[in-house]
Chains A and B, each alone.
Chain A
């Protein structure tokens, strides 16, 4: 990305960053960390115990379900190759810069920092690609800058639409996806715009 880089982190933002640093609720941090550590084992435990209580033959049931895993994973390969190749080529071609130039007058209207526009365009295409851009922005501007906060929020505001559509429909062999792409992209656009607006309200 060759977009212009602005190093100016306003005084007001620095103050906000400082105050939020003092307010860091450490119990919340531990809570969140513990939550993601415990969610999966808790789900498995719950399924096993309830199954045992209901006299389900848990081992046989597990094998029964697990068998399906192989066929589904193999079925999605052609769909996954098609979409990932297209996205990979698009990213490598540098076409994104053209779209950024094209769209930036529009996004300026809602106060989207120009630096975050590549993140917004990348998000529906590639989750890891967008995360890379967010990381880069936070390295340059700092994670507690407005740009850092907006790009972080953008990352969580929506999903990799094209990947999800290719994989989900691929698994059942659906080729005509009808209005799914339109709905997905409207969702992405609204999520990304909402990310900017809510950050402007919350972080000024």
Chain B
């Protein structure tokens, strides 16, 4: 509890560090904040060409929204994933890149990874805003779902924060972490139904049946991936315009708070040794 108070007391510092990231990021660029849109758009273009035109992946149309546009369907999963991946990767390096600060000034170290959640989240908010406008233009009645979308966004941010707290500490002790994680994130992305619909996995799973004589299917294992649930919930809300599956939503919340609890515990335990270990 006392730790919580200390973290709360440094919320102003957190806000200032987040602002530093946001203001510093696109300084001296002509397009400024627009650059934050270019990355997801370029990725969207590549994936749409490869997966929709060449490989002919056809996700089911939105039910009940009736939307049937691959690029939009892709973005509903890709933007949350990109946020998650960026928070984890930047948060992980946040203590090392501020080594000078950590070794010279006392402050609540937790603000360093958390400020990355803030600055990446700011960009994400901007991207999601644009996505909502695009969805509305395409005929999706997305407006009533926005409050729930925001709740799920917060849950994903909590989940990402928990992971980056753990990894930022691990990275101070073992610099291998950052290289390992960047490979892991690539694999993780393809293990999540972002560029292909989960129905393809369902088909494969049915074809193989229970694994090793048990009733556990490939799909059961596949769905252990927390990001699978998050992406599903985002698609249900944004693309399908329907209530998310309550079980999925609950699991998202459980994953988020479990990650945060472990992350806080790990971080708190090793916080005092950080200046020395750097």
A and B interact: no
A residues at B contact (CB < 8 Å): none
B residues at A contact (CB < 8 Å): none
